[in-house]
Chains A and B, each alone.
Chain A
Amino acid sequence: MTAGLLERLRAGQVLVADGAMGTMLQERGLKPGDCPEAVNLERPVVLEEIARLYLEAGADLVQTNTFGGSPMKLAQYGLDDRTEEVNRSAVEAVRRAVGGQALVSFSCGPTGRMLKPYGDADPEEVRRAFCRQLKAAAAAGADVVCVETMTDLGEAVLAVEASKSAAPGVPVMATMTFDRTKKGYRTIMGVSVAQAAEGLAKAGADVVGSNCGNGIDNMVEIAREFLRSTRIPLLVQSNAGMPEMRGGRAVYGETPELMASKVAALLEAGANIIGGCCGTTPAHIAAIRKAVSAKSPGR
């Protein structure tokens, strides 16, 4: 059995997270327009297979297929009344696959609704939605909650707070997605890295950071900015660059070798957990694992 996330971070270990989920599901039959989380109900064996691939690649944290598992998001597919089942099944599948050799990291993405006053979503309604999802996560035994791909700090804070109340005792990581702008790195909602670091920490996040985005070079700079703003452990999960369409398929330009070659810079910038996002594969994670182990022994 692995030690808990915070214990390992406190001991100074650098951990490796896993890579993309969506593309792995598509390769296994998920069609555009299908609800990705419906796989949790229909074919959890696919989730086990993907989790095993990332475990074998050397991931210390393996993510659940629950990015869109809040009842607000599931409602778009008419699956909101099965919220508990959708989220429980995903946690159980990863746990079966990793068998205690990696931490089960519970993915929690945005609701897809814009909060008032910019949109029509009531903050308390959003909080309740996250609470319901994360209560199911805790009940199913998730080791870590990973709030991710957030662009609105208000929504990210609601998710972190919901995790603290609905899944007490489970560490929470929270990452936001930044673009490079003339005003430095900002989310599309205008949140700077410093604002994200401060707001997420205040909400109670145990780990903060950045995911998705426009390639790993940007991530190195974003990590440096986080380091200037906070002492909280840092999680970085980069896309393998921006997708290009070739023959009707999305191709991501950054190879496992290229991403792995940036590990040293990420570690220098203060990253404590390194994984991948869109376009990354078990091969990317294996390369990152190798680079991390070479630089930071003691796994």
Chain B
Amino acid sequence: MEILASIVQSLEEGDEETVSELTREALGQGLKARDILDKGLIAGMNAVGVKFREHEVFLPDVLLSAKAMNAGMKHLKPHFAKEGVPNIGKVVLGTVHGDLHDIGKNLVSIMLKGAGFDVVDLGKDIIPEAFVDAAVREEAGFLGLSALLTTTMPVMKDVVDLVKKRGLSGKLRVIVGGAPVSEDYARQIGADLYAFDAASAVDRLKAAVGR
């Protein structure tokens, strides 16, 4: 089990090479890919997420840790084919139409993956139809919308309205976030969930799937 603690530590330090090596080593010791993910990579990413929220670390540290996580995931992926893919929920994610800002959205994507969600990142400048179509195609339970600009925030409402219009309310829940977005605004437009930042997106979605 010591090796898992080392993975957590190296991941927190953003040490891509060591995380990659240790993950391979852990598999070599016969540990289950699922355990390495949960108790190593995800545990490490969670710790980074908490530190980010507490302002103990900043965006560069999170990005380096995410790279390290991906390096570890590469070794685990072939094993998930046999053991089954870990997945506590599926989220289709993107920045709304007219908005080209994706740093925050990318961060949410990283943290959700780190928490064990299956994330489909559509990218930026996504029109409402593309959001809803992708969510249906991917059979996702959640739709995550991001906006940085006050001028593009209203597009979030268009997406929420389209979800209702297609009769997907309840089955497909919408979570919104971004610098100008508030809990109040989320309520006003009828979104199911609101996240203040990337860490709270993880908290809210985990709560929503009963974790």
Complex CA gap A243/B188 in Å reads 15
Beta-carbon nearest neighbor of A179 in chain B: B55
B152:A32 contact, CB within 8 angstroms: yes
- Asked whether A118 and B54 contact (CB < 8 A) given A26-B151, A32-B98, the answer is no
Interface on chain B toward A: helix, strand, loop, or mixed SS? Answer: loop
CB <8 Å contact, A250 and B98:
no
B125 near A33 (CB under 8 angstroms)?
yes
* B86 interface contact, C-beta 8 A: no
| A-chain residues with CB within 8 Å of residue B154 when the two chains form the complex | 32, 245, 248
Of A51-59, A181-189, A260-268, the stretch lying at the interface with chain B is A181-189
Q: Please pick, from B57, B61, B98, B100, the residue contacting A112 in the complex, using a CB distance under 8 A.
A: B100
Known: A242-B180, A244-B182. A189 touches B59 (CB 8 A): yes
Is there contact, CB below 8 Å, between B149 and A32?
yes
Q: B116-127 interface mask toward A, CB cutoff 8 Å, 1 = contact, 0 = none?
A: 000000000100
> Is A32 a contact of B155 with CB atoms below 8 Å?
yes
Contact present for A182 and B55 (CB under 8 Å): yes
With the chains together, A250 CA to B180 CA distance in Å? 9
B180 touches A114 (CB 8 A): no
Q: Are B180 and A190 in contact (CB under 8 A)?
A: no
Bound: A183/B98 CA distance, A: 34
Q: How far is the CB of B134 from chain A (nearest CB, A)?
A: 19
Rounded to whole Å, the gap between the CB of A275 and the closest CB of chain B is 20
Q: Is the CB of B60 within 8 A of A190?
A: yes
Residues of chain A lying within 8 A (CB to CB) of residue B182:
244-245
Q: How far is the CA of A90 from the CA of B51 in the complex (A)?
A: 43
Q: Which of B55, B58, B100, B153 contacts A76 (CB 8 A)?
A: B100
Kindly identify which residue among A33, A189, A245 contacts B185, using a CB–CB cutoff of 8 Å.
A245
Query: Does B97 sit at the interface, judged by CB under 8 A?
Result: yes
When A and B form their complex, which 7 residue pairs have the shortest distance between CB atoms, in order from nearest? Answer: A190-B58, A33-B98, A250-B150, A32-B98, A181-B55, A32-B151, A118-B63
Sampled A-B contacts (7; CB under 8 Å): A33-B99, A189-B58, A189-B59, A245-B150, A245-B154, A245-B188, A250-B150
